[in-house]
Structure 1
Amino acid sequence: MAKYEKLAKEIIKYVGGAENVNSVSHCITRLRFRLKDESKADDTALKNLSGVVTVMHSAGQYQVVIGNHVPMVYAEVCEVGGFTNESLTNNEEEDAPKGIFNKLIDIVTGCFQPVLGPLCASGIIKGLNALLAFLLGESFSASGTYAVLNAIGDAIFYFFPIILGYTAAKKFKVNVVVGMLIGAAFCYPTIQADTLSAAGEAMGNLPFVGNYFATFMGVPFVAANYTTTVVPVIIIVAFAAFIQKYANKWIPEMLRNFFVPFFVLIISVPIGLLIIGPVVSAFTSLLTDGFAAIYNFSPVVSGLVVGFAWQILVIFGLHWAIIPLAIMNIGNMGYDTILVGQFGTTFALTAALLAMCLKMKDKNKRTLVVPAIISGFFGVTEPGIYGFALPEKKPFIFSCIAAAIGGGVFTFLGGQQYVIGGLGIFGTVSFISESGDPTSMYYSFICIAVSMIVGFLLTYFFWSDHTNEESQITLNNKENKEIIASPLTGNVIPLKNVKDDAFAQGALGNGIGIIPSEGKVVSPVDGTISVLFPTLHAIGITSDSGVELLIHIGLNTVQLNGEGFKAHVKQGDKVRKGQLLLDIDLKAIEKAGYSTETPIIITNTKDMLDILPTDKKNVIRNDDLITVVF
């Protein structure tokens, strides 16, 4: 691991130093930092490090995408920075992500990330055991070998509440053994719905939640089958953290060692079983019923939507919101159909990378893409996404389209997933049923073939490598240019002086900056609104001649969530030069503590021969601002 020591030191340096780190963890491909001040991190410097794929900001985390060797890099980062995998500063409120949605995603990822590797390993073991049972017949199914392998593979699924009790306890700073005991209580055989219903008639029925077969201190106890469940135990451990906080406050220190766990368990478990569990189970059932309704309406639509959106969800870490629903489906029904639609995504992306490799003119890039193709085949796509497909745009879109078609075919055929298994090619065995039926596995091979063929053909025939095209354009002497007008009135500053490294170092393209003196933003070109961010702080325009512009009003103003901005256009609108796009409240932005410096960027700079900003110190709306030569 020492070979990653230099990389670890550089990563810590460019995230603002060890003193700027509240916590650090990792998933399959990413280091996930919580920083005290993200503005101290240098995105561009990190992206340029050998060994770093890219940098992402998502769900309140500062994510450094590394690739397959992230565990080794993480170990070195912890060693160099003096961190532990539980290290948090006392500034827990500063460390928490802002916004309800970000907090929910953070909780789900925090509880599931430590489980993902063992979960996939267990799924592979179960799948291989099912494959052996299919190949070797009943003699193997009745053997001790089958029983032992099944126990190894099935343990994490059967005792999932205990596992999540542990990870949730670490997330919410609860005594981890107490968290495990909460999970174990929910796995206890005599309180499962099947056990209680088999023991006698229902004592009554409660609206919305169903029959109950027992009471606790006179209160109806609505039982459920909690083994294999995922959400209830996480919510109950969060509630236990609340109880623990006040127990630590009120109980004398000399008695805390056993009385704090006593009160946490005696309060949280009964309330969890009587109230939280039934309510959460009812709510999650609505969500799973919603996905089931879409699937029942049209399996093809379900597969198309999940397949197309999956890679986009992964980029932002939002796929974690869907995985628990799939796990619950497997626990309740023995199979899942939600994740079936996404199975082709890694293969679609891998095929797109293969087509890019064949068409690349740069030998160095072709050498670099080969490892990304190999890792993609085994289910790890971040190096391919961030290093090659996403920067080129079209291959990424083509891979999403191919994944959608592959997912649609898979769900149309009736594919069912029986375990949350391995990634990439290792995931095929997760489609073998426990009874040894390999039908869905055969369908998965069809999904792989369709996804790869479509992804390869679309990329091969409709993507071109523009490397060295500039020299060809010059030789042909077909120079054209477009004058970009100023969208604002104000003082002009060179782009390198903008107080944001990503803009100042040209990571997003060349351009210029303006410090506006009035709050009117007009279109600098005739064109189309290609992007209008929901927070209205940034707007993208594609001119009729193909110049792609980004107007980013202020720095870090995304945090204002649209306050102080009013849009007069929407995404997809055709606009004319000088047309009013936005009204902005400059005083409100400054009062909130944000800079009004506004970069105007040519985002497809690499496709242009030259970008020539004005040398004026001040401009008014519609003045000539940038000359683009193409």
Structure 2
Amino acid sequence: MKYEQLAKDILANVGGKENVSSVVHCITRLRFKLKDEGKANTEVLKNMDGVVTVMKSGGQYQVVIGNHVPDVYKDVLAIGGFQGQAPVDEKEEGPKGSLFSRFIDMISSIFTPILGVLAATGMIKGLNALFVALGWLENTSGTYQILNATGDALFNFLPIFLGYTAIKKFGGTPFVGMAIGAALVYPTLSTLTTGEPLYMLFEGTMFQSPIYVTFFGIPVILMSYTSSVIPIIISAYFAAKVEKGLKKVIPDVIKAFFVPMLTLLIVVPLTFMVIGPIATWAGALLGKGTLGIYNLSPIIAGIFIGGLWQVFVIFGLHWGLVPLAINNLTTMGADPILGTMFAASFAQIGAVLAIMIKTNQQKLKALSIPAFISGIFGVTEPAIYGITLPLKKPFIISCIGGAVGGGILGFAGSKLYMVGGLGVFGIPTYIGPEGITFGFWGAIISIIVGFIVAFVLTYLFGGINKEKSSKATKETNTASSEVAVTKVQNEALVSPLNGIVLALSEIEDAAFSSGALGHGVAIEPSEGKLLAPVSGTVSALFPTNHAIGITTDSGAEILMHIGMDTVQLEGKYFTAHTTQGEYVKKGQLLIEFDIEQIKKAGKPLTTPVVVTNHKEYSLVLTNQKQVKTGSQLINLVAN
């Protein structure tokens, strides 16, 4: 609560927390959406210590703070009692981001709530298989049967659980989704497929299906939906749409039971007649397709997935493989795709152990111990984000270890037979119905080799005690991302853009044009590439990738803000090629942006390039009207 009083004063002068519809922040300012801007005391805010200025643009009430705006924002949330998050304007809710991002978000939202229980039941089933393989249990004993029921229950009735999470994601009533899932696995339906079929549908094709029952004369293709994934997700999507439509037309007095009744009467038959069969066929083809790609070269597939698995996890891309693995388990009884990532977490802890043994930094050594222990059980986030990723080389080496282990898994034909635990708890998931096979031993060998490779390479080549690595680790484990310097020195900045040079005063943004946020120049870009004007550490990179700050080794603090009010684009048309905390070289590509799309969105592209600690320098600006990347832009002479 460093800025507690400032946060209180800001909230009081925007009309109180009850006047706030939403509040977010960009790299320099708080952006309020107020219910009534007339209640805000603009002049008081402008003259307040800690506030640079106040602006109104794009329906937002903007309180310009400066580089420490994230800290002020946190205190505004706390003082406003917003429970750790900004209030949400309902009109702004809805799909955001690219199609792929929304797909990943959908998959993660559907599967995340059940993954813990899915892993737990998988571990029980894996241990049960291990006990039988070791001769500790007979598969006819009551103990085995009860443990097997415990391990199989969620997976067999997976459509019920996914019905809940899927329809909730799509905005429908969870219990309606569960009812649809329960109908799909209703046990009596499986007894209807005995005896002679009424006739054959699609005879002579790959979709040939016997018809045993009809629904009002319409043929129903009965299939087994036990453990299925795709049919219930598609059905839940349609159910949510149907439910929303019915709520608009059915009177409130009968809505409570008529809406779910009609939703089920429409969606369940539709699922059995159309959605279920098509989705099941699609799932089978998807399973055969992924298996076909894997079979082209299991070793290459293993190297690729094992080596990049941790990168996938960092960016959330692993969610694209999770449904494929579950689909393969349900359609084929085993999955070789996800099975190739098993060595990655062990390679990660191999690198951490090498760091823990070799480092001469007590703080890093102390952090390595709990990271190593949690990594044994498959929880590698402390190792990745706290240890190996900041040091860079150990993270790369851990990926190499994961790739080697993945290649071994591919060579051995190792497969997952259930979704189970992580780390050492994942070992039993490689035991199939036939017991312990070469694939199981391949999994054991892969984690040992992956661990050893990462340990040895990190110990020898990880650069653990080098000055730069030490500096990176120190910065990662401190609350501040600022680079400590004792005295600023002269610095030369080159142009980060191709374009026309403008004076800051020509910008239609008071915070920049007044010089309140720093001195420098503006550039009207002609190409959508922003390069580093100087070597240094990325001290700030806003999540929407429209603004970036660099602190040089000699102490200069540079801020580049692509366009005006471009934060409202929420990251569209911006692609970052660096991360906060990364050390970048002069001329390195930092951000790409789509000039045409940004213009179509009505946002000015004028880009300020300013020195925020300008009081430490005398600035000599270029006299050129047009610049290219790499040409001289600003000379900084230390005062």
Q: Same fold (TM over 0.5)?
A: yes
Partner of 1:428: 427
Contact between 1:158 and 1:227, CA under 8 Å: does it hold in 2?
A: yes
Partner of 1:487: 496
Residue 91 in 1 paired to residue 70 in 2?
Answer: no
One-letter amino acid of the counterpart of residue 177, structure 1: F
Q: Name whichever of 396-405 and 119-128 sits farther off.
A: 396-405
Partner Cα separation in structure 2 for residue 498 and residue 359 of structure 1: 53
Cα deviation digits, residues 184-208 of structure 1 (max 9, x gap): 011123445xx55543347223366
Partner of 2:368: 369
Which SS does the other structure have where 1:421 is aligned? coil
Aligned CA distance change for structure 1 residues 275 and 450 (closer, same or farther; 3 Å): same
Partner Cα separation in structure 2 for residue 169 and residue 81 of structure 1: 27
Which SS does the other structure have where 1:163 is aligned? helix
Query: By how many angstroms is 1:437 displaced?
Result: 2.9
One-letter amino acid of the counterpart of residue 406, structure 1: G
Partner Cα separation in structure 2 for residue 628 and residue 337 of structure 1: 61
Cα deviation digits, residues 511-548 of structure 1 (max 9, x gap): 99753135356977899xxxxxxx9979999xxxxxxx
Contact between 2:166 and 2:236, CA under 8 Å: does it hold in 1?
A: yes
Contact between 2:200 and 2:211, CA under 8 Å: does it hold in 1?
A: yes
Aligned CA distance change for structure 1 residues 402 and 471 (closer, same or farther; 3 Å): closer
One-letter amino acid of the counterpart of residue 619, structure 2: D
Q: Which structure 2 residues correspond to residues 319-338 of structure 1 after superposition, within 5 A?
A: 319-338=318-337
One-letter amino acid of the counterpart of residue 196, structure 2: G
Contact between 2:622 and 2:634, CA under 8 Å: does it hold in 1?
A: no
Aligned CA distance change for structure 1 residues 346 and 552 (closer, same or farther; 3 Å): farther
Gaps of 5+ in 2: 12-20, 30-77, 472-488, 536-543, 551-557, 576-584
Gaps of 5+ in 1: 1-5, 18-34, 44-76, 473-479, 506-510, 528-534, 542-548, 566-574, 602-611
Q: Name whichever of 153-162 and 454-463 sits farther off.
A: 454-463
Which SS does the other structure have where 1:459 is aligned? helix
Partner Cα separation in structure 2 for residue 352 and residue 559 of structure 1: 37
Partner Cα separation in structure 2 for residue 186 and residue 268 of structure 1: 11
Which SS does the other structure have where 1:229 is aligned? coil
Partner of 2:25: 39
Partner Cα separation in structure 2 for residue 42 and residue 551 of structure 1: 11
Query: By how many angstroms is 1:451 displaced?
Result: 1.0
Which SS does the other structure have where 1:140 is aligned? coil
Partner of 2:178: 180
Partner of 1:149: 147
One-letter amino acid of the counterpart of residue 210, structure 1: Q
Residue among 503, 524, 534 paired with 1:517: 524
Contact between 2:126 and 2:428, CA under 8 Å: does it hold in 1?
A: yes
Query: By how many angstroms is 1:140 displaced?
Result: 2.7
One-letter amino acid of the counterpart of residue 592, structure 1: G
Aligned CA distance change for structure 1 residues 447 and 91 (closer, same or farther; 3 Å): same
One-letter amino acid of the counterpart of residue 155, structure 1: A
Aligned CA distance change for structure 1 residues 260 and 312 (closer, same or farther; 3 Å): same
Q: Name whichever of 144-153 and 299-308 sits farther off.
A: 299-308
Partner Cα separation in structure 2 for residue 123 and residue 470 of structure 1: 40
Residue among 161, 164, 173 paired with 1:163: 161
One-letter amino acid of the counterpart of residue 519, structure 1: S
Contact between 2:197 and 2:210, CA under 8 Å: does it hold in 1?
A: no
Partner Cα separation in structure 2 for residue 230 and residue 471 of structure 1: 47
Partner of 2:619: 615
Partner of 1:396: 395
Partner Cα separation in structure 1 for residue 365 and residue 354 of structure 2: 11
One-letter amino acid of the counterpart of residue 195, structure 2: A
Contact between 1:486 and 1:619, CA under 8 Å: does it hold in 2?
A: no
Aligned CA distance change for structure 1 residues 463 and 265 (closer, same or farther; 3 Å): same
One-letter amino acid of the counterpart of residue 287, structure 1: L
Which SS does the other structure have where 1:615 is aligned? strand
Partner Cα separation in structure 1 for residue 559 and residue 425 of structure 2: 41
Query: By how many angstroms is 1:251 displaced?
Result: 1.4
Partner of 2:34: none
Query: By how many angstroms is 1:226 displaced?
Result: 0.8
Query: What RMSD, in angstroms, separates the aligned Cα atoms of the two structures?
Result: 4.6
Query: By how many angstroms is 1:289 displaced?
Result: 2.1
One-letter amino acid of the counterpart of residue 331, structure 1: T
Partner Cα separation in structure 1 for residue 595 and residue 294 of structure 2: 46
Query: By how many angstroms is 1:418 displaced?
Result: 0.8
Partner Cα separation in structure 1 for residue 443 and residue 386 of structure 2: 27
Partner of 2:199: 203
**Identical positions, percent:** 37
Partner Cα separation in structure 1 for residue 510 and residue 373 of structure 2: 40
Q: Which structure 2 residues correspond to residues 466-477 of structure 1 after superposition, within 5 A?
A: 468=467
Report the TM-score, using the length of structure 1 for normalisation.
0.69
Aligned CA distance change for structure 1 residues 170 and 203 (closer, same or farther; 3 Å): same
Contact between 1:352 and 1:459, CA under 8 Å: does it hold in 2?
A: yes
Contact between 1:519 and 1:586, CA under 8 Å: does it hold in 2?
A: no
Aligned CA distance change for structure 1 residues 600 and 197 (closer, same or farther; 3 Å): farther
Aligned CA distance change for structure 1 residues 235 and 558 (closer, same or farther; 3 Å): same
Partner Cα separation in structure 2 for residue 314 and residue 261 of structure 1: 38
Aligned CA distance change for structure 1 residues 400 and 600 (closer, same or farther; 3 Å): farther
Partner of 2:299: 300
Q: Name whichever of 308-317 and 411-420 sits farther off.
A: 308-317
Partner of 1:28: none
Query: By how many angstroms is 1:354 displaced?
Result: 1.7
Aligned CA distance change for structure 1 residues 524 and 399 (closer, same or farther; 3 Å): closer
Query: By how many angstroms is 1:455 displaced?
Result: 1.4
Query: By how many angstroms is 1:600 displaced?
Result: 9.2
Residue 418 in 1 paired to residue 417 in 2?
Answer: yes
Query: By how many angstroms is 1:286 displaced?
Result: 3.0
Which SS does the other structure have where 2:222 is aligned? coil
Partner Cα separation in structure 1 for residue 427 and residue 88 of structure 2: 42
Contact between 1:203 and 1:212, CA under 8 Å: does it hold in 2?
A: yes
Aligned CA distance change for structure 1 residues 309 and 324 (closer, same or farther; 3 Å): same
Partner Cα separation in structure 1 for residue 110 and residue 407 of structure 2: 31
Contact between 1:345 and 1:403, CA under 8 Å: does it hold in 2?
A: yes
Partner Cα separation in structure 2 for residue 88 and residue 275 of structure 1: 41
Aligned CA distance change for structure 1 residues 92 and 126 (closer, same or farther; 3 Å): farther
Aligned CA distance change for structure 1 residues 624 and 255 (closer, same or farther; 3 Å): closer
One-letter amino acid of the counterpart of residue 282, structure 2: F
Partner Cα separation in structure 2 for residue 513 and residue 459 of structure 1: 43
Q: Which structure 2 residues correspond to residues 100-249 of structure 1 after superposition, within 5 A?
A: 100-136=99-135, 140-192=138-190, 197-201=193-197, 203-206=199-202, 209-214=207-212, 215-249=214-248
Cα deviation digits, residues 142-187 of structure 1 (max 9, x gap): 2111111111111000000011111123223322222111000111
Query: By how many angstroms is 1:122 displaced?
Result: 0.4
One-letter amino acid of the counterpart of residue 142, structure 1: T
Aligned CA distance change for structure 1 residues 229 and 577 (closer, same or farther; 3 Å): closer
Contact between 1:498 and 1:599, CA under 8 Å: does it hold in 2?
A: no
Report the TM-score, using the length of structure 2 for normalisation.
0.68
Decide which structure has the larger Cα Rg and report it: 2
Query: By how many angstroms is 1:591 displaced?
Result: 5.5
Which SS does the other structure have where 1:199 is aligned? coil
One-letter amino acid of the counterpart of residue 526, structure 2: G
One-letter amino acid of the counterpart of residue 256, structure 1: K
Residue 454 in 1 paired to residue 453 in 2?
Answer: yes
Residue 592 in 1 paired to residue 602 in 2?
Answer: yes
Q: Name whichever of 383-392 and 411-420 sits farther off.
A: 383-392
Contact between 1:346 and 1:376, CA under 8 Å: does it hold in 2?
A: yes
Query: By how many angstroms is 1:241 displaced?
Result: 0.9
Which SS does the other structure have where 2:201 is aligned? strand
Cα deviation digits, residues 441-468 of structure 1 (max 9, x gap): 3222111111111212222222213654
Contact between 1:126 and 1:154, CA under 8 Å: does it hold in 2?
A: yes
Partner Cα separation in structure 2 for residue 406 and residue 619 of structure 1: 58
Aligned CA distance change for structure 1 residues 590 and 444 (closer, same or farther; 3 Å): same
Which SS does the other structure have where 1:141 is aligned? coil
Contact between 2:531 and 2:588, CA under 8 Å: does it hold in 1?
A: yes
One-letter amino acid of the counterpart of residue 452, structure 1: F
Aligned CA distance change for structure 1 residues 383 and 197 (closer, same or farther; 3 Å): same
